[in-house]
């Protein structure tokens, strides 16, 4: 109990200067020892940023977070310190590992493989389908999906994983009791039930733009492999990729068309040596679950695509399928692509509605797109 | 000696015949005016005095009392100048009283004796006809709007001197001096379509939605990026509504007359109005206001289209004003002295961008977060959305469509669309015979159950679409009403699955953006 309080105290500081904090903690052995050491002592022994010295001395004058443990228990939040046995093995070797990890739900099981799926917030239809596919398909192979619970690829992949009956973990840039973005409330609740949410920030900490780049190292650190679905050439995703490379994690990327801005980052990654993820089997091979790589036919993705194409048969369905696979289209644009006359719009609308009812396409803001099934 | 001259007092869009009484008696020379008069009526004294002098008429130096009866009715406006002047002349014996009998007089005087146009002449003529008044003497600019009744001779005058000369003639000779305006014969279908839908390339879905909206008089909402042609399409909507009838035209013209929009010599309103208030319009500008209220923009859209561009940017107070007229088809404005009623039966067409930047759902252009998109769509209040049956997206037009749209593939013309609308209206007329309803959009829950029976298959479809499309319970009835209209356009007595399916395509904004 006593030690926990000191760990929380030091964890709050460590969240800002993780690498230095790890060094300092190793030097003194425990958070309590650091607390009890005098300012001069610390200055003499450790080379730390000036601001950290100041923070250390100032925070010692403030009251210790003695209530935190009790409050956390009320909210079902748990914490693990890097000095503890239960600390995730994968993170333990990192230079800048988080000193304290707060979590709600559970921490990833050490025995199951864990894949981080990351990508653009404002993703395209292609990205949406890919996230859906990989999330769901990997869940079938009992692989947990790790991500940042953000809007776009992150949240979509996690949602798909849970839908596929898998386990998923979200690493947050806020306290684990702060739901950000609000739109992912539903996902947050489900993650706690099947998986967990994890953060190095103390409960109650609000989301801050500085927190997100830092939490990315935890995402890659806890994963066995990082899969990038859709990223622009300049993207926050690359912070995670860089961390993954430093930590020695495999990086895979879903390729895209060279004309798509949202795929340029991924294509560039593949050019630089990242693995190409064309189907779930590629990932399984990389993780050593499958012995042989997929040679032809596109693996499970190819089969799904063929099945899907078959369900778009009859009437103008094949034409609709072809057009929508290139990207979301409005009914107006489809009318034009299919070369129909203006008055035929009502027939097209009926056909689209039928497809929507069958769950093959979905209409978002007037644009129809194909649903991954 | 006391004389009485008939004049018209405007109350809302109606007119009441009032009497301008003048009494000349000995006493201190002065003109005294009574009868609950607003300032501009009181000021008439000065205008009349100068106008008479400058027309070469000298008033007798006597005590003159003017009363406008009934004295408890508030009177406003400048139309009383001329009747007051005539009453004065008649009371002082300069005009024989029997020569002005059974004549309603209205007009504003300027100091040099010229007569200016006034507001509300049309309601005066219609009221005069009802009251059996055979002649109306009005400013020449108002002659066109006044010449609508066979029973009431409309005489346009330009100067006070002309009036005195005219009234000095015995009634049988008066017509020879100034010929009464010719009563125009109403012609159906005479309004040509100016803005034709055929000019619009692409936008097939919007055109289809507008055709349905026009057929069932449904209110509609267009969502689309800036420059997608929302305004262009809305402007063409009045052209596909059935041509305005004589009765409708008179109703609309009445409002325009009272609002002073016909004063410039323009004719009756012969096309359906299209009113597009700016989004900064205040509540008063929309509903009508003033101590004695004048019709606002909402009433001016009577029998036509009220187009709210950038609907989310209207203040919520302005939008809430729309609720009552959308329900009751009229606006009630209460003042301490009276209640005023303005007809307002319009089709609401609202337009908005899909998100703050306007480019959703194009991910390459739109940088708004999901949350922003949701919030933007949520700016229109639920009660207002409840009254909007059709919701449609307008994508940005394809460059190809704009450039290569040659004449051969010209879209459906307004004339063709109007024919279809008329057919659907005919179906509705037959169905609603003997009820208070005219259009599908006006059906309530009870009427929907009565007029739109669903078979097992259709019921099942509705249940399925509920789950699939995440529909809200309140959109259920809206979809049924729209489906009824689509079936009417198909001339089908029964609402079938395909009609329902298309109707679901036009489901409300809350189902599409708030998930």
Residue with tokens 């991954």: A372
Cβ-count burial A198-225 (b if 16+ within 10 Å, e if not):
bbbbbbebebeeebbebbbbbbbbbbbb
d(CA A371, CA B20): 77
Same domain, B46 and B142: yes
In chain B, the number of structural domains is 2
In a domain? residue B427: yes
Q: What is the pLDDT tens value at each position of chain B, 515 positions in all?
A: 789 999 999 998 999 999 999 999 999 999 999 999 999 999 999 999 999 999 999 988 999 999 999 999 989 999 999 999 999 999 999 999 888 889 999 999 999 999 999 999 999 999 999 999 999 999 999 998 898 888 899 999 999 999 999 999 988 888 889 888 888 777 665 556 778 888 887 788 999 999 999 999 999 999 998 888 899 999 999 999 999 988 999 999 999 999 988 877 777 888 899 999 999 999 999 998 888 888 999 999 999 999 999 999 999 899 989 999 998 999 999 988 888 999 999 999 999 999 998 888 877 778 787 778 888 888 888 888 889 999 999 877 666 655 655 544 567 889 999 999 999 999 999 999 999 999 999 999 999 999 999 999 999 999 998 888 888 877 899 999 999 999 999 999 999 999 999 999 998 887 777 54
Tell me how close the Cα of A41 comes to any Cα of chain B, in angstroms. Answer: 49
- Sheet with A361-364, strands from edge to edge, namely A329-330, A367-370, A361-364
B367, B373, B465 member nearest A357 (Cβ): B465
Tell me how close the Cα of A38 comes to any Cα of chain B, in angstroms. Answer: 48
Q: Which of B196, B198, B204 to mutate to test the interface with A (most CBs of A within 10 A)?
A: B204
A182 touches chain B (CB under 8 A): yes
Q: Do A367 and B498 touch (CB under 8 A)?
A: no
In a domain? residue B16: yes
A151, A333, A357 member nearest B370 (Cβ): A151
Same domain, B64 and B213: no
Q: Which of A366, A367, A369 to mutate to test the interface with B (most CBs of B within 10 A)?
A: A366
Q: Of B299, B232, B295, B302, nearest to B271 (Cα)?
A: B302
* End position of a domain, from candidates B177, B212, B246: B177
B204, B362, B513 member nearest A342 (Cβ): B204
Residues of B in contact with A186 (CB under 8 A): none
Nearest CA in chain B to A261: B364
Chains A and B form CB pairs within 8 A to the count of 98
Residue A15, pLDDT above cutoff 70: yes
Q: What is the CATH number of the domain that holds B473?
A: 3.40.50.300
Q: By the 8 A CB rule, do B267 and B121 touch?
A: no
d(CA B95, CA B169): 9
Tell me how close the Cα of B211 comes to any Cα of chain A, in angstroms. Answer: 11
A236 touches chain B (CB under 8 A): no
Entry pTM? 0.84
Q: Can you give the pLDDT at residue B407?
A: 47
Q: Do A122 and B363 touch (CB under 8 A)?
A: yes
Condensed to tens digits (0 to 9), the pLDDT of residues A280-338 reads: 999 999 999 999 888 888 888 888 889 989 999 988 999 999 999 888 889 988 998 89
Burial label, A268 (beta-carbon count in 10 A; 0-12, 13-18, 19+): middle
Q: How, if at all, do strands B103-105 and B153-157 pair?
A: unpaired
pLDDT band at A244 (very low <50, low <70, confident <90, very high): very high
Same domain, B29 and B109: yes
Same domain, B364 and B255: yes
Same domain, B21 and B142: yes
Q: Of A23, A46, A42, A22, nearest to A34 (Cα)?
A: A42
Domain that holds residue B161: 2-177
Condensed to tens digits (0 to 9), the pLDDT of residues A321-332 reads: 999 988 888 998
Q: How, if at all, do strands B330-334 and B115-116 pair?
A: unpaired
Same domain, B83 and B215: no
d(CA B35, CA B76): 11
Helix pair angle (A153-163, A185-193), 10° resolution: 40
In a domain? residue B186: no
* End position of a domain, from candidates B118, B147, B177: B177
Same domain, B158 and B230: no
Predicted-assembly ipTM surpassing the 0.90 threshold? no
Q: Do A346 and B393 touch (CB under 8 A)?
A: no
Q: Which of B363, B479, B496 to mutate to test the interface with A (most CBs of A within 10 A)?
A: B363
In a domain? residue B376: yes
Same domain, B149 and B27: yes
In a domain? residue B299: yes
In a domain? residue B184: no
Q: Can you give the pLDDT at residue B53?
A: 95
The two structure tokens encoding residue B384:
């207002």
pLDDT band at A175 (very low <50, low <70, confident <90, very high): very high
Tell me how close the Cα of B235 comes to any Cα of chain A, in angstroms. Answer: 20
B373, B393, B468 member nearest A366 (Cβ): B393
Q: Can you give the pLDDT at residue A373?
A: 63
Same domain, B173 and B217: no
DSSP A255: -
Q: What is the CATH number of the domain that holds B111?
A: 3.30.230.10
Same domain, B112 and B170: yes
Nearest CA in chain A to B411: A342
d(CA A111, CA A224): 11
The two structure tokens encoding residue A92:
């333990």
Q: What mean pLDDT is reported for chain A?
A: 92
Q: Of B343, B332, B304, nearest to B123 (Cα)?
A: B343
Q: Do A122 and B203 touch (CB under 8 A)?
A: no
Same domain, B204 and B171: no
Same domain, B271 and B151: no
A341, A352, A367 member nearest B361 (Cβ): A367
In a domain? residue B185: no
In a domain? residue B22: yes
A371 touches chain B (CB under 8 A): no
The two structure tokens encoding residue B280:
């900064």
């Amino acid at each position: 109990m006593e030690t926990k309080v000191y760990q929380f105290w030091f964890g709050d500081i460590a969240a800002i200067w993780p690498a230095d904090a790890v060094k300092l903690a190793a030097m003194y052995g425990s958070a309590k020892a650091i607390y009890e050491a005098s300012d001069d002592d610390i200055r003499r022994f450790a080379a730390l940023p000036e601001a950290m010295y100041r923070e250390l001395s100032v925070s010692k004058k403030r009251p210790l977070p003695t209530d935190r443990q009790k409050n956390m228990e009320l909210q079902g939040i748990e914490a693990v310190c890097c000095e503890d046995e239960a600390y995730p093995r994968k993170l333990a070797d990192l230079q800048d590992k988080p000193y304290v990890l707060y979590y709600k739900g559970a921490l990833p099981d050490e025995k199951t493989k864990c894949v981080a799926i990351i990508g653009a917030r404002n993703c395209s239809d292609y990205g949406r389908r890919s996230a859906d596919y990989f999330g769901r398909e990997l869940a079938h192979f009992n692989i947990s999906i790790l991500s940042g619970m953000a809007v776009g690829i992150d949240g979509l992949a996690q949602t798909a994983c849970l839908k596929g009956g898998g386990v998923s973990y979200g690493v947050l840039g806020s306290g684990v009791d702060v739901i950000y973005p609000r739109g992912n409330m539903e996902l947050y609740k489900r993650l706690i039930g099947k998986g967990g949410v994890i953060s190095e920030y103390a409960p109650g900490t609000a989301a801050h733009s500085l927190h997100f780049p830092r939490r990315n190292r935890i995402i890659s650190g806890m994963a066995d492999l990082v899969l990038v679905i859709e990223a622009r050439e300049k993207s926050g995703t690359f912070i995670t990729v860089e961390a993954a490379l430093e930590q020695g994690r495999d990086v895979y990327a879903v390729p895209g068309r060279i004309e798509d801005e949202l795929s340029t980052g991924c294509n560039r990654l593949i050019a630089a040596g990242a693995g190409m993820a064309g189907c779930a089997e590629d990932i399984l091979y990389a993780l050593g679950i499958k012995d042989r790589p997929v040679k032809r036919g596109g693996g499970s993705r190819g089969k799904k695509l063929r099945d899907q194409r078959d369900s778009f048969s009859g009437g103008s369905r094949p034409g609709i399928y072809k057009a929508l696979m290139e990207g979301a289209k409005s009914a107006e644009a489809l009318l034009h692509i299919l070369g129909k006359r203006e008055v035929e719009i009502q027939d097209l609308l009926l056909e689209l509605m039928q497809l929507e009812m069958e769950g093959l396409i979905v209409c978002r803001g007037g644009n129809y797109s194909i649903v991954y099934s | 000696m006391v004389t009485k001259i008939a004049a018209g007092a405007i109350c809302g869009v109606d007119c009441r015949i009032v009497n301008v009484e003048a009494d000349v008696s000995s006493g201190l020379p002065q003109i005294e005016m009574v009868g609950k008069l607003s300032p501009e009526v009181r000021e008439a004294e000065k205008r009349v005095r100068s106008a008479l002098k400058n027309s070469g008429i000298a008033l007798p130096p006597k005590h003159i009392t003017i009363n406008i009866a009934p004295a408890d009715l508030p009177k406003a406006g400048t139309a009383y100048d001329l009747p007051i002047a005539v009453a004065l002349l008649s009371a002082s014996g300069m005009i024989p009283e029997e020569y002005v009998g059974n004549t309603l007089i209205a007009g504003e005087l300027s100091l040099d004796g010229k007569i200016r146009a006034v507001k509300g002449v049309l309601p005066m003529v219609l009221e005069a006809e009802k009251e059996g008044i055979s002649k109306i003497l009005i400013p020449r600019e108002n002659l066109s709007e006044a010449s609508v009744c066979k029973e009431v001779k409309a005489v346009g005058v330009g100067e006070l001197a002309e009036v005195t000369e005219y009234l000095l003639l015995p009634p049988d000779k008066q017509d020879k001096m100034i010929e009464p305006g010719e009563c125009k014969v109403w012609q159906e279908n005479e309004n040509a379509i100016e803005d034709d839908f055929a000019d619009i390339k692409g936008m097939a879905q919007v055109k289809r939605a507008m055709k349905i909206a026009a057929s069932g008089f449904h209110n509609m909402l267009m969502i689309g990026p800036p420059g997608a042609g929302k305004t262009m399409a809305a402007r063409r909507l009045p052209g596909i509504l059935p041509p305005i009838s004589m009765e409708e035209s008179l109703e609309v013209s009445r409002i325009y007359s009272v609002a002073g929009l016909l004063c410039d010599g323009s004719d009756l309103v012969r096309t359906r109005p299209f009113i597009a208030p700016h989004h900064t319009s205040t509540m008063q500008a929309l509903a009508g206001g003033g101590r004695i209220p004048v019709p606002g923009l909402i009433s001016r859209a009577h029998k036509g289209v009220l187009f709210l561009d950038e609907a989310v940017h209207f203040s919520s107070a302005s939008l809430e004003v729309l609720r009552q007229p959308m329900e009751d088809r009229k606006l009630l404005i209460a003042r301490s002295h009276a209640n005023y009623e303005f007809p307002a039966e319009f089709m609401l067409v609202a337009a908005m961008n899909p998100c703050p930047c306007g480019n959703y759902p194009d991910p390459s252009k739109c940088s708004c977060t999901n949350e922003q998109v949701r919030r933007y769509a949520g700016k229109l209040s639920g009660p207002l959305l409840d009254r909007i049956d059709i919701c449609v997206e307008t994508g940005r037009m394809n460059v190809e469509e704009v450039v290569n749209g040659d004449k051969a593939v010209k879209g459906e013309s307004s004339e063709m669309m109007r024919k279809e609308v008329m057919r659907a209206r005919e179906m509705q007329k037959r169905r609603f015979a003997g009820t208070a309803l005219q259009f599908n959009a006006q059906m309530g829950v009870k009427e929907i159950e009565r007029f739109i029976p669903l078979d097992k298959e259709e019921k099942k479809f509705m249940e399925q679409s509920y789950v699939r499309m995440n529909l809200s319970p309140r959109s259920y009835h809206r979809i049924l009403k729209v489906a009824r209209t689509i079936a009417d356009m198909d001339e089908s007595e029964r609402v079938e699955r395909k009609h329902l399916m298309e109707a679901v395509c036009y489901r409300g904004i809350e189902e599409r953006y708030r998930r």
